[in-house]
Structure 1
């Protein structure tokens, strides 16, 4: 079982992500804003972070940059979620250190495949 941080301000999407991850056997740390996501990541050291790019306050790009600059979270896989039509966010997400980006709306199976791939790639050995 892996621990996955979900930082999504849209409650419907956050609940969907939590449900998908929970039913797949993962422990979920769900946050509604970037500040609490960053604090949770630094305190809990999850195995993966899913960050919404466009969020009020501290956005996913800023959280990703902060994770990459912090000992203990600098190698955590990061999957960025972005809204349709926000293709510049994808490039900015990768520039900030994201390992993968997915545009909403997404197919749940595609999301889970990407999560499992990132988790597999991050395991030692």
Structure 2
């Protein structure tokens, strides 16, 4: 069972995505802000990380930058960034930080599952 860290400051969205991903057989750990996400990334190993772009304390991009430069066991884990920011400069900033996939809100939970499964399958091959 793949463990996923889901960091988003919107409790309702976190609940929806946790339920959806758990139904697909994933084990979820939730974080409500960027600092909490960093603490979880330091504490345990994850197969994949989902970060909201706009979170209190640290943005998803800042968490990803920290992760890619850290000695964490999660340093190579795929990172999915959820964001309402669809501008090219935001996408370029995310890519430079090491974000693996970029999903613009609003999105369907099934689209997220497709992206997650695709990233995990490509890591296995």
Quickly name the TM-score band, shorter chain normalised.
Answer: over 0.9
**What CA distance in whole angstroms lies between the structure 1 residues aligned with 2:86 and 2:77?**
27
Would you say 1:24 and 2:14 are equivalent positions?
Answer: no
Matches within 5 A, 1:15-94: 15-71=15-71, 72-94=73-95
1:86/1:11 CA distance change after superposition, 3 Å: farther
TM-score by length of 1: 0.93
Other-structure match for 2:98: 97
Aligned length: 124
Would you say 1:107 and 2:108 are equivalent positions?
Answer: yes
TM-score by length of 2: 0.93
**What CA distance in whole angstroms lies between the structure 1 residues aligned with 2:24 and 2:82?**
19
**What CA distance in whole angstroms lies between the structure 2 residues aligned with 1:22 and 1:86?**
31
CA offsets per residue over residues 74-102 of structure 1, 9 Å max, x none? 20100001115455322211110000000
Give secondary structure in 2 for the equivalent of 1:120. helix
**What CA distance in whole angstroms lies between the structure 2 residues aligned with 1:37 and 1:25?**
21
